[in-house]
C-alpha cells in the first residue's frame, strides 16, 4: 500500500473523510513540494517519500481531534512550506486561514500553492513572528497553530495578543513537552493563557507526538 492511500485510510480511521476534490488537492500539493523542494528547501529530503503520512496526517491532527472551529479564523505561525496551514485549509474549507512566513522563497512558494490550488480561504503574509502583534492589530483569531517553530514560551508571547478571548494556541510538540510547558508558566500567567489539555498521539514511525493546547482567559 502506498503512503498516500495509507494517509487517506488513517483519516477515515479517525472518523473523518476526504472527498475526491480534497484528495486531488492533497496530491497536487505533495507534487509541488517534491518538484520545488530542491530550490526552496521545504522539507528534509528523507521525507519526500513520506509526505502524506509524516506531514499531511500530522498537520491535520488538530482537525481530526476536533480541536479547531470549522468556520473559525486560524493563524499559522512560521508556516514554512505550508505545514500545517495548507493541509488544514484543504480539510476545513469553511474556516479562514492566515499563513505567516518571513522567508522570501517559502513565502513565494505559499502564494504559488494558494493560486494553484485555488484556496480562497487562505491568505499569505511575509512578516517575522517576533513583530507579528505590531503588524496585526486587535484580537483577531480563534486559533493560532505552530508546528516545528519556537518553544511554547516563545509561542505564548508571539501569539497571545492575536487571540480572541477563549481563543486557543495549539503547539505541535514531541513526546515529552512537560519541560517546555513548565518553562512557559510565567509567560502564560503574564499573557493570560492557561493549559487546557495535552493530546498524545502515535506517529507513523511508531514514535509519540503531542498537541499542547493553551486557552486565552
- Quick: pLDDT tens for 70-92: 999 999 999 999 999 999 999 99
DSSP state of 46: G
How many whole angstroms separate alpha carbon 59 and alpha carbon 6? 15
How many whole angstroms separate alpha carbon 144 and alpha carbon 191? 15
Query: CATH code at 164?
Result: 3.40.50.150
Q: What is the pLDDT of residue 124?
A: 96
CB 184 within 8 A of CB 152: yes
pLDDT level of residue 63 (50, 70, 90 thresholds): very high
How many whole angstroms separate alpha carbon 95 and alpha carbon 97? 7
Q: Cα–Cα–Cα angle for 140, 21, 203, nearest 5°?
A: 70
Cell of 140: 483577531
How many whole angstroms separate alpha carbon 4 and alpha carbon 49? 10
Residue 22 has pLDDT above 80, yes or no: yes
Mean pLDDT computed over 199-215 = 90
What mean pLDDT value characterizes the chain?
94
The β-bridge partners of 92 are none
User: Among 138, 96, 144, 137, which Cα is nearest to 120's?
Assistant: 96
- Taking the CA of residue 185 as centre, how many other CA atoms within 13 Å lie in the half-sphere pointing to its CB? 4
CA 32, 36, 40, 42 torsion-angle sign:
positive
Tell me the whole-structure pTM to 2 decimals: 0.96
- Spatial CB neighbours of 111, under 8 Å, sequence gap ≥ 6: 124
Residue 11 has pLDDT above 90, yes or no: yes
The share of the chain scoring above pLDDT 90, in percent, equals 88
The β-bridge partners of 109 are none
Reported as a single tens digit per residue, the pLDDT across 122-161 is 999 998 877 776 666 556 899 999 999 999 999 999 999 8
Q: Domain count for the chain, please give it.
A: 1
Q: What is the pLDDT of residue 128?
A: 85
- First-to-last alpha carbon distance for the chain, in angstroms, is 46
Q: What is the pLDDT of residue 15?
A: 96
pLDDT level of residue 56 (50, 70, 90 thresholds): very high
Q: What is the pLDDT of residue 172?
A: 98
Q: What is the pLDDT of residue 133?
A: 67
The β-bridge partners of 197 are 213
Residues of the domain holding 159: 3-216
Residue 162 has pLDDT above 80, yes or no: yes
The C-alpha cell 519556537 sits at: 150
Mean pLDDT computed over 183-210 = 93
Cell of 16: 473523518
CA 92, 98, 103, 105 torsion-angle sign:
positive
Amino acid at each position: 500500500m502506498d503512503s498516500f492511500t495509507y494517509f487517506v485510510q488513517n483519516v477515515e480511521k479517525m472518523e473523518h473523510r476526504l472527498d475526491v476534490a480534497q484528495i486531488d488537492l492533497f496530491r497536487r500539493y505533495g507534487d509541488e513540494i517534491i518538484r520545488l523542494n530542491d530550490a526552496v528547501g521545504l522539507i528534509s529530503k528523507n521525507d519526500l517519500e513520506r509526505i502524506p503520512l509524516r506531514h499531511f496526517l500530522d498537520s491535520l491532527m488538530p482537525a481530526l481531534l476536533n480541536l479547531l472551529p470549522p468556520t473559525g479564523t486560524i493563524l499559522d505561525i512560521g508556516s514554512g512550506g505550508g505545514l500545517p496551514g495548507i493541509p488544514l485549509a484543504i480539510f476545513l474549507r469553511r474556516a479562514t486561514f492566515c499563513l505567516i512566513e518571513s522567508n522570501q522563497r517559502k513565502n513565494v512558494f505559499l502564494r504559488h500553492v494558494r493560486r494553484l490550488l485555488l484556496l480562497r480561504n487562505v491568505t499569505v503574509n511575509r512578516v517575522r513572528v517576533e513583530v507579528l502583534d505590531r503588524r496585526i492589530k486587535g484580537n483577531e483569531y480563534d486559533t493560532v497553530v505552530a508546528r516545528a517553530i519556537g518553544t511554547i514560551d516563545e509561542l505564548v508571547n508571539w501569539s497571545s495578543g492575536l487571540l480572541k478571548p477563549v481563543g486557543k494556541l495549539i503547539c505541535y510538540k514531541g513526546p515529552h513537552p512537560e519541560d517546555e510547558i513548565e518553562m512557559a508558566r510565567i509567560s502564560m500567567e503574564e499573557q493570560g493563557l492557561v493549559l487546557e489539555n495535552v493530546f498524545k498521539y502515535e506517529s507513523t514511525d511508531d514514535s509519540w507526538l503531542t498537541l499542547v493546547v493553551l486557552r486565552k482567559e
